[in-house]
A and B are shown apart, each in its own frame.
Chain A
Amino acid sequence: MLNVSGLQVFYGNIHAIKDVSFYVEEGEIVTLIGANGAGKSTILNTVSGLIRPTAGTIEFLDHSILNLTPHKIVRKRLAHCPEGRRLFLQMSVEENLEMGAYARDDIDMDAEMADVFSRFPILEERRTQLAGSLSGGEQQMLAMGRAMMSKPILLMLDEPSMGLAPILVEQIFDLIVELNETGTTILLVEQNAQMALSIADRGYVLETGSIVTMGNCIDLLNDERVKKAYLGG
């Protein structure tokens, strides 16, 4: 479904992504794990068109999306829920969800919103409140809900567990699995390697801009190097 090959990204003189290749098959949950600054978010930002790579190819559903602008890429039903949530804090909960469906003219807005509210009842209670007035956990729910509104076939999630209480992390990860079971392919970027590897099918481990190891999550969970560096043991 998504095929990235030979990706090179520079920030000025800094070589941020060095010859990264990976793929995501339809129906999978694939995770990119690695320490802060390893380049995980840069990869997602490059796939969604916010950053231009200096070399490499990015194919989505067998078509190159390399030269498309971000607003065209999302219309191919590839959604990106960015790092730090990036909600529109001065817009209401409801308006944030509407923005999520901005690229879709063919959906029933009310039905989609009802679906999001059924998963996150707290958002319905707060639908007219400004997103900026929500707690961190509620904001993450809203960010997930906003990404769901576009009905993506591939959803890229950047650190959905960041800054959340363990109980909320569980809830968010349950939702990711559920979305996946109902047909959404997931590319998940996480620092919480334990959680990410526990729900994903395959994983890639990133260190300073390069993929150092990859494989099935069960193998990665038992990999001595991965254990030492990312699983606290």
Chain B
Amino acid sequence: MDFLSYLISGISLGSIYAIIALGYTMVYGIARMLNFAHGDVIMVGAYMSFMATTRFGWHPLLSVLFAMVVCTVLGIVIEQLAYKPLRAAPSLAVLITAIGVSYFLQNAALLLWSANPKSFSSVVPFDSLRLFNGRLIISGTTIVSIFVCVIIILALNTIVNKTKIGKAMRAVSEDKDAAQLMGVSVNRTISITFAIGSALAAVAGVLLCSAYPILMPTTGAMPGIKAFTAAVFGGIGSIPGAFLGGILLGIIEIFGKAYISTQLSDAIVFAVLIIILIVKPTGLLGKKVLVKV
């Protein structure tokens, strides 16, 4: 029964990683950049939800929407101010800028909300589910995290494969110049990608703090790095890869904590990443590009 309980916790934590990893992977796929500030957008989303419920007394669900709106705007603003001017710059310059934005957000949060951890109360109103005469307890947050992740994956899959903007995103991700020649605005497509990724980050932030209720300015940093790991693990640029990578990472982390060592669990996570990358450098579902002349 413990095994089942750990597995479900792993999938739940993995779902949150997957939602964050989607933001990394989509932005990478389209703008070919690693947005290391993505993890800190999670933190901003969590603070927004926290403020909305505690200061303004809003309904938790409304607070999530509020966090999504703020993060969407934040994502677009970051892209316009920090990354867009560097479109033609070497990728190293963009990477360093992204790290700069990450520290900027953390320090702005420190200034606004201080370093004192806030105790975040879960936005999920459901009680825990008790199964097998109470031997298996699954919290409402756990169930909602998995459920939300599945919905997001299905929705994104539809957007990317069926809608005009989704097709434009795939076209830009494959060949920027050719996409422009078809009439696609690359700048607009990148902005929309940042908007979607940041809105997802807000959702992830709220779910993360509902599961692990300590909120401080560095809250987003570690999950951000882990979700980035998940995205690479699954094959960066691949949406199903981000999903698979996130879930597996969550399971590995929880099993590592439960069966090996709580202190070593992060080390185990990254060790697995290194092994996967040695065996399969493109990640689990990394794209093999087929070129014919």
Query: Contact residues of A with B, CB < 8 Å?
Result: 48-50, 69-71, 74-75, 79-80, 82, 86-91, 95, 98-100, 102-104, 130, 132-136, 139, 146, 150, 163
**Does chain A have a CB within 8 A of B182?**
yes
When each residue 58-102 of chain B gets 1 if its CB lies under 8 Å from chain A and 0 otherwise, what string results? Answer: 000000000000000000000000000000000000000000000
| Beta-carbon contact of A50 and B180 below 8 Å | yes
| Beta-carbon contact of A88 and B178 below 8 Å | yes
| Beta-carbon contact of B167 and A70 below 8 Å | no
| Beta-carbon contact of B292 and A102 below 8 Å | no
| Beta-carbon contact of A82 and B181 below 8 Å | yes
| Beta-carbon contact of A74 and B292 below 8 Å | no
Q: Which of the candidate stretches B35-43, B253-261, B283-291 sits at the interface with the other chain?
A: B283-291
Query: Across the interface, which residues of A come within 8 angstroms of B164, CB to CB?
Result: 102
| Beta-carbon contact of B290 and A132 below 8 Å | yes
| Beta-carbon contact of A86 and B177 below 8 Å | yes
Closest to B172 in A: A88
| Beta-carbon contact of B171 and A89 below 8 Å | no
Closest to A84 in B: B293
> Cα distance A99–B168 when bound, in Å?
8
Query: Across the interface, which residues of B come within 8 angstroms of A86, CB to CB?
Result: 175, 177-178, 181
Q: Which of A75, A82, A95, A98 contacts B178 (CB 8 A)?
A: A82
> Cα distance A75–B181 when bound, in Å?
10
A-B contacts, 20 listed (Cβ < 8 Å):
A69-B185, A71-B183, A71-B185, A71-B186, A74-B183, A80-B181, A87-B178, A88-B174, A88-B175, A89-B174, A89-B289, A90-B290, A91-B170, A91-B171, A95-B167, A102-B171, A102-B184, A130-B290, A132-B292, A133-B290
| Beta-carbon contact of B182 and A82 below 8 Å | no
> Cα distance A80–B183 when bound, in Å?
11
Query: Across the interface, which residues of B come within 8 angstroms of A139, CB to CB?
Result: 292
Query: Across the interface, which residues of B come within 8 angstroms of A146, CB to CB?
Result: 182
| Beta-carbon contact of A103 and B183 below 8 Å | yes
| Beta-carbon contact of B180 and A88 below 8 Å | no
**Which chain B residues (7-57) contact chain A, with CB distance < 8 Å?**
none
Q: Which of B177, B181, B290 contacts A89 (CB 8 A)?
A: B290
Q: Which of B167, B181, B291 contacts A50 (CB 8 A)?
A: B181
| Beta-carbon contact of B170 and A70 below 8 Å | no
| Beta-carbon contact of A82 and B292 below 8 Å | no
> Cα distance A87–B180 when bound, in Å?
12
| Interface core residue of A75, A86, A134 (most chain B CB under 10 Å) | A86
Given contacts A99-B167, A99-B182, 13 further A-B contacts (CB under 8 A): A79-B181, A82-B178, A86-B181, A87-B178, A88-B174, A88-B175, A91-B170, A95-B167, A100-B182, A103-B183, A132-B289, A132-B290, A136-B292
Q: Kindly list the 7 A-B residue pairs having the minimum CB-CB distance in the complex, ordered from nearest.
A: A103-B183, A70-B180, A132-B290, A86-B178, A74-B183, A102-B182, A102-B183
Chain A nearest CB from B235 CB (Å) reads 13
Closest to B187 in A: A69
Query: Across the interface, which residues of B come within 8 angstroms of A70, CB to CB?
Result: 177, 180-181
> Cα distance A80–B177 when bound, in Å?
11
Q: Which of A82, A99, A135 contacts B171 (CB 8 A)?
A: A99
Closest to B185 in A: A71
Query: Across the interface, which residues of A come within 8 angstroms of B287, CB to CB?
Result: 90
| Interface core residue of B183, B184, B291 (most chain A CB under 10 Å) | B183
Query: Across the interface, which residues of B come within 8 angstroms of A103, CB to CB?
Result: 182-183
Query: Across the interface, which residues of A come within 8 angstroms of B181, CB to CB?
Result: 48, 50, 70, 74, 79-80, 82, 86
Query: Across the interface, which residues of A come within 8 angstroms of B292, CB to CB?
Result: 89, 132, 134-136, 139
| Beta-carbon contact of A50 and B182 below 8 Å | no
| Beta-carbon contact of A88 and B184 below 8 Å | no
Query: Across the interface, which residues of B come within 8 angstroms of A74, CB to CB?
Result: 180-183
Closest to A81 in B: B181
Query: Across the interface, which residues of B come within 8 angstroms of A75, CB to CB?
Result: 183
Q: Which of B174, B183, B185, B186 contacts A150 (CB 8 A)?
A: B183
Closest to B173 in A: A90
Q: Which of A48, A82, A132 contacts B291 (CB 8 A)?
A: A132
> Cα distance A103–B182 when bound, in Å?
7
Known contacts: A82-B177, A132-B292. The answer to whether A91 contacts B183 by CB under 8 A is: no
> Cα distance A88–B183 when bound, in Å?
14
When each residue 173-215 of chain B gets 1 if its CB lies under 8 Å from chain A and 0 otherwise, what string results? Answer: 0110111111111100000000000000000000000000000
Chain B nearest CB from A201 CB (Å) reads 25
| Beta-carbon contact of A71 and B293 below 8 Å | no
Closest to B186 in A: A71
> Cα distance A139–B179 when bound, in Å?
17
